[in-house]
Amino acid sequence: MPTPPDAAPSFAEAARFWVRLGCISFGGPAGQIAIMHREVVERRRWLGERDFTGALNFCMLLPGPEALQLAIYLGWKLHGIRGGLVAGLGFIVPAIVLLLALSWLYAAFGSVPAVAGVLFGLKAAVLALVLQALLRLGRRALQGPLHVALAATAFLALELLRVPFPLIVLAAGLAGLAGAWHAPRAESRQPYPTGKGAPIRIAATGLVLWLVPLLLVAAALGPQSLWTRLYLFMTQAALVTFGGAYAVLGYVTEHLVRGLGWLTAEQAVAGLALAETTPGPLVIVLQFMGFMAGWNQPGALAAPAGALLAALLASWATFLPSFVFIFLGAPYVERLTRAPRVAGALAGITAAVVGIIAALALLLARVVVLPQGWAGPIAWPAPVIALAVWWMLERTRLELHWVLAAAALAGLAARSLGWA
């Protein structure tokens, strides 16, 4: 039998843990979830295996960064809403602060040869990371002809037909739901929670917290300003962010780069490279994209101020829904995770995400390996660095931050020698 959990920690002890976790949570969602399991379940024994597994399954059903949502849920399980707030904020605030600093350094000094060399190596490493994620997710998600067809259709729809990302997600979810429509219902002994007014209060609070920045920015800078439009778009992106940062980056890049011209594809890829070097959820890359949009299109504000405001609005729109989703759904975890139709819809969406990530990999390959376009020369150090990163990730036990550091040094050396 599993060892029962120990007594719950004090609120102060848990708060210290969540802040520390936010400072060391490198390695993407898989590494972050592993750290939480080791610390919360195995080492500190604050929660049992069943609670942790149920929470993880629930978070996988939601749009948004699953590692952040898992931290919020675990904090909620230990200390209610205040625990969830501290856990979530502790998990993301260090990443927000660090990426703001890196964003400014990139915008101000990104063309300096040494900085450009480091970024060259990091972008090559990101290509390897995305391809690795694509293969791993593909092996897990493509379990039958329907899922393979959904992945291929999603790739073609996004890459060739320019179908909006939300429509792809919706269609894939409906296809998965249809495939599981006749599955037997699972029985759950979990009672419905009491306090029926709580969901209304949570939803209303979340709506107010979302509306206040929108109204302030629209009143001060105009409803058609970059900041207002960016806030609305990032909110939309947050609500369809199934499959993590790799999936949503293709959608956001399509809109902000090709649609609006607020930043370049090279800047988007550089943002993903910088986000990989920070702790916290990888979807923090959307904050960087907001920063660069505000930097490139300052409008009524000076570049640093406009970029900072755009970055903070992007982060608020990206992460606020995760808190609302968890506080709304946490009491219903077992019922939701045991519903076959919900699982079928999620499987369809996950299959489509494979095709979406494949489209992102194609974009990365073009930007990193063929920086001058399909007809230009190959930047041959990039695939070499990418292959080396792949080998280190697959064949060694090196932590991701050491692998990224090695890639950065290799990129710096290649640029210094005139090879890139």
Whether residue 102 is predicted with pLDDT greater than 90 in this model: the reply is: yes
Percent of the chain with pLDDT over 70: 92
Under the banding of pLDDT at 50, 70 and 90, the label for residue 13 is: very high
Under the banding of pLDDT at 50, 70 and 90, the label for residue 148 is: very high
Which range of 137-151, 311-325, 346-360 scores highest in mean pLDDT? It is 311-325
All residues at 6 or more sequence positions from 84 whose CB lies less than 8 Å from its CB, including other chains: 72, 73, 75, 76, 323, 326, 327, 330
pLDDT in tens, 266-303: 899 899 889 888 888 889 999 999 999 999 987 788 88
Pick from 135, 124, 297: which is nearest to 226 by CA? 297
All residues at 6 or more sequence positions from 20 whose CB lies less than 8 Å from its CB, including other chains: 90
Which range of 22-26, 265-269, 399-403 scores highest in mean pLDDT? It is 265-269
> Do residues 125 and 344 lie in contact, with contact meaning Cβ atoms separated by under 8 Å?
no
pLDDT in tens, 193-238: 545 678 899 999 999 999 999 999 999 999 999 999 999 999 998 9
> How large is the average pLDDT for residues 166-171?
84
Q: What is the pLDDT of residue 3?
A: 44
Q: What is the pLDDT of residue 375?
A: 74
Pick from 381, 263, 274, 321: which is nearest to 62 by CA? 321
Q: What is the pTM of this model?
A: 0.82
More confident residue, 51 or 235: 235
Whether residue 368 is predicted with pLDDT greater than 90 in this model: the reply is: no
Under the banding of pLDDT at 50, 70 and 90, the label for residue 1 is: very low
Distance, CA of 150 to CA of 176 (rounded, Å): 9
Under the banding of pLDDT at 50, 70 and 90, the label for residue 101 is: very high
pLDDT in tens, 341-365: 877 887 888 888 888 888 888 888 8
Pick from 229, 223, 241: which is nearest to 321 by CA? 241
Neighbours of 191 (CB within 10 A): 9
Under the banding of pLDDT at 50, 70 and 90, the label for residue 58 is: confident
| Separation in Å, CA 248 to CA 65, 199, 404 | 11, 28, 22
Percent of the chain with pLDDT over 90: 41
> How large is the average pLDDT for residues 91-120?
92
**DSSP-H helix ranges across 180-239:** 198-221, 226-239
Distance, CA of 353 to CA of 168 (rounded, Å): 9
> Do residues 84 and 327 lie in contact, with contact meaning Cβ atoms separated by under 8 Å?
yes
> Do residues 372 and 410 lie in contact, with contact meaning Cβ atoms separated by under 8 Å?
no
